[in-house]
Amino acid sequence: MSKKYFSQVPDFQYVSRLPNASISEYIKVKNLFKRGKLKEDIAADATLFTKYKVKGDDRPDNVASEVYGDANLDWLVMLCNNVVNLQSEWPLLQAEYDRYLIDKYGSYENLNSIHHYETIEIKNQMGVVLVPEGLTVESDYSITYFDWVDEKEITQTNIVTPITNEDYENKLDDEKRNILLLKPRYLNVVKEDLTDLMTYKKGSTEYVSKTLKKAENIRLYS
């Protein structure tokens, strides 16, 4: 099994500012400025990825376990989809989602209120799409066009469908379920890239080791 993401993030020591700290005391923390990312040539190549639909209450670690056989590769699932905030960028657990709906709309009754209207697909007699499905429009939206088969102008009304608050939220949540995943055969390349990215290089005065940097203590010279 792979190392967990944060165990690979290098450390940084900075001078303590705690009230009772001595002038030479340091605190070691994870360097959160070191953030994993896919290399541009990999991220830009669609052939390296496959489509995946998140099921039920699955978290990134569940997806990683199913696809890669390694739950610790949850960071890769998130990187592939630029997910930083799970709360807003990943499908909510069902119980959390239900609470979110009530918190936002106040009651189950309000979930059935109209959020907006969308078009249904309209084609002419030759099969040409005149109005695509899913455009957000006003409730009285209509279309007028010339029918070349019957050689007359036609006006169509009643071509919208109401979208409730619940429909709207369900669609947004469902869109988050459609993700891309790196194909398993390219795992080693990305793992090596992450290791290289998280490794400190010699040449800086702050360098201590491949996994540690230490800030200069200017308090000792003041």
76 and 15 part of one domain: yes
Structure tokens at 219: 């308090």
Supply the pLDDT for residue 219: 53
86 and 150 part of one domain: no
Average pLDDT over residues 101-130: 95
What is the tally of structural domains in the chain?
2
Full residue range of the structural domain in which residue 9 is found = 5-90+176-221
- Residue 214: inside a domain: yes
> Alpha-carbon distance 144 to 108, whole Å?
38
- Residue 170: inside a domain: no
69 and 133 part of one domain: no
- Residue 216: inside a domain: yes
- Residue 169: inside a domain: no
- Residue 110: inside a domain: no
Give the predicted TM-score (pTM) of the model: 0.78
- Residue 158: inside a domain: yes
> Has residue 202 got a pLDDT over 90?
yes
184 and 157 part of one domain: no
Supply the pLDDT for residue 201: 94
- To the nearest whole number, what is the mean pLDDT of the chain? 92
- Residue 106: inside a domain: no
Supply the pLDDT for residue 217: 66
Supply the pLDDT for residue 220: 47
pLDDT band at 45 (very low <50, low <70, confident <90, very high): very high
pLDDT band at 221 (very low <50, low <70, confident <90, very high): very low
- Residue 215: inside a domain: yes
pLDDT: which is higher, 221 or 102: 102
Give the rounded percent of residues in the chain with a pLDDT score beyond 90. 81
Distance of CA 108 to the CA centre of its chain: 28
pLDDT band at 17 (very low <50, low <70, confident <90, very high): confident
> Alpha-carbon distance 91 to 60, whole Å?
10
Instruction: Tell me the per-residue pLDDT of 46-74, one tens digit each, with 9 for 90 and over.
Output: 999 999 999 999 999 999 999 999 999 99
